[in-house]
A and B are shown apart, each in its own frame.
Chain A
Amino acid sequence: MPEQEVEVHISSVLAMMTGGRKDFKCSGTSVRDAFENLFSQEPSLRVHIMDENSAVRQHVLVYVGEEDLRWLGGLDSELNGPTNITVLQAVSGG
């Protein structure tokens, strides 16, 4: 699979940990690839998006385009073209 250009957008709360930066230009063949590219640019984000088992944290929502990552097959989902990845917090907590 060819590498795809991806724009990753993170939530405002998460951007507190990146000096306010919310948008990142990344690339990869899969969502996992794109996230690894994101973490190479902004290492502080890894612990906030991924859990101890290198899975997406339970209450973190990841959308690839308009689709929830969980319904696409998870982190190894292939990227078929340029797209946006959005990292949001689930409507839980206080």
Chain B
Amino acid sequence: MGVLIIVGTVKGAFLVRSDDNRISWTVDGPHFKGWKVTAASRNESGEYFVATASDIFGPAIHRSTDLENWIQIVDGPKFEEDAGRKLNQIWFLSTNSDDYFAGVDEAGLFKSSDNGDSWVPVPGLNDHDTRSGWHPGAGGMCAHAFLRDSQNPDRMWCGISAVGVFRTEDGGETWQPKNEGVKVIIPDEENSEIGFCVHALTQDPENPNVIWQQNHVGMYRTTNGGDTWESIQNGLPSTFGFPIVLDPHTKWLYSFPLHSDEFRLPVDGKCQVYRSQDLGESWHPLGNGLPEKRYHAGVLRSAMDIDGHDPCGIYFGTTSGTVHYTNDRGEKWHSLPDIFPRILTVKVFSVSDA
């Protein structure tokens, strides 16, 4: 199996392809030249979806069967006219089940049951009882993280920055905040269940109750589906960072810590991925092949992904437009020669012919 990486940047998408060896790459693009490409996904039929956005012309979802010809979905996510909300960006697309979901800024969740042709708001989350206490963080107020129970599709999690993690057990009708044990960042006088700044989530597909969370104020893990969270900082150089991904084969975790929410720079000027080989109990730096000094770019929450190969490949894109990857679980890292615009999202897909 080959690998396709959709690299979404502030000025378009680039398609990066390789064969199973993941050593030599081709780069094609930009697609959607001049537009932010903020999310990408594929459905079970092999159709691809990307989300675009523009500070001027707004967001949209596009669908393609061949990655060349894209059709914009006309009836995409849209807040109702009297909602008083503005849809700025689509942060994630989840299209690998019958019901598709899209998370947006300003924070909201949308659902499609017709292969993405039309989208409707999910009022159980969008109009949640705690909504009046939701406030934006530095990156806006966005529903950016989404997980679905592999054994029970009615059970889902959605992460909203500066608000927290919510869980539904009934297919999205009702949602409950699930942040106990996480340090609050914006205390809400009326509701102690919100004010938690989740940055990214990843889940054990074989045990969906086990979820890891990179938060604004630390790394956390739950073993009960979010009912309670515990801090897992051992070995991490800071509490701040954005992405976290899991290799489903080894259950090893990968993150990219940054120095504090104030500075948001790599720690000590080193480009280092941190890996945990014991479910988050301890973390260790990986840097073989990555810049060891004078490195000052960050990695955004959607800009790291993992392929399904064994040994796994891990890929991340930076705010300075470089892409770095490993094809051996992080032992040795490589860099693509291209310099892209600021990278917003990196999504990896296995493909039959690269």
Contacts and interface: CB of A to CB of B under 8 A. Distances in A.
A70 interface: no
Given A13-B34, A16-B32, A47-B76, A52 B57 contact: no
Interface stretch (B83-91, B125-133, B233-241): B83-91
Q: Identify which of A16, A46, A59 gathers the most chain B CB atoms within 10 Å of its CB.
A: A16
Contact of A59 (B56, B59, B72): B56
A14 B52 CA distance: 12
B265 interface: no
Contact of A60 (B35, B56, B60, B87): B56
- 8 closest Cβ pairs, A-B complex: A48-B57, A93-B55, A44-B72, A89-B56, A13-B34, A59-B56, A43-B74, A52-B79
Interface in A52-94: 52-54, 57, 59-60, 89-90, 92-94
Contact of A52 (B35, B52, B86): B86
A92 B55 contact: yes
Given A60-B56, A89-B54, 5 more contacts: A48-B60, A51-B86, A52-B87, A53-B81, A57-B57
A8 to B, nearest CB: 15
B56 A52 contact: no
B311 interface: no
B55 A51 contact: no
A94 B60 contact: no
Contacts, number: 62
Contacts of B52: 17
Interface residues on B, range: 20 to 34
B57 A13 contact: yes
Given A52-B81, A52-B85, A57 B33 contact: no
A13 B54 contact: yes
B10 interface: yes
B54 A48 contact: yes
A57 B86 CA distance: 11
B86 A44 contact: no
B78 A13 contact: no
Interface string B31-72: 011110000000000000000101111111000000000001
Contacts of B34: 12-13, 16
Contacts of A60: 56-57
B56 A57 contact: yes
Q: Identify which of B33, B34, B52, B54 gathers the most chain A CB atoms within 10 Å of its CB.
A: B54
Interface of A: 12-14, 16-17, 43-44, 46-49, 51-54, 57, 59-60, 89-90, 92-94
Contact of B55 (A12, A43, A53, A59): A59
Nearest to A13: B34
A15 B344 CA distance: 22
Nearest to B74: A43
Contacts of A93: 54-56
Nearest to B341: A94
Interface string B3-36: 0000000100000000000000000000011110
B74 A44 contact: yes
Contacts of A17: 52, 57, 60, 72
Contacts of B72: 17, 44
Contact of B10 (A43, A49, A89, A94): A94
Nearest to A87: B57
Nearest to B60: A47
A54 B56 CA distance: 15
Contacts of A48: 54, 57-58, 60
Contacts of B85: 52
A12 B33 CA distance: 10
A80 to B, nearest CB: 28
A50 B40 CA distance: 24
Contact of A16 (B33, B58, B59, B83): B33
Contacts of B35: 13, 16
A16 B58 CA distance: 13
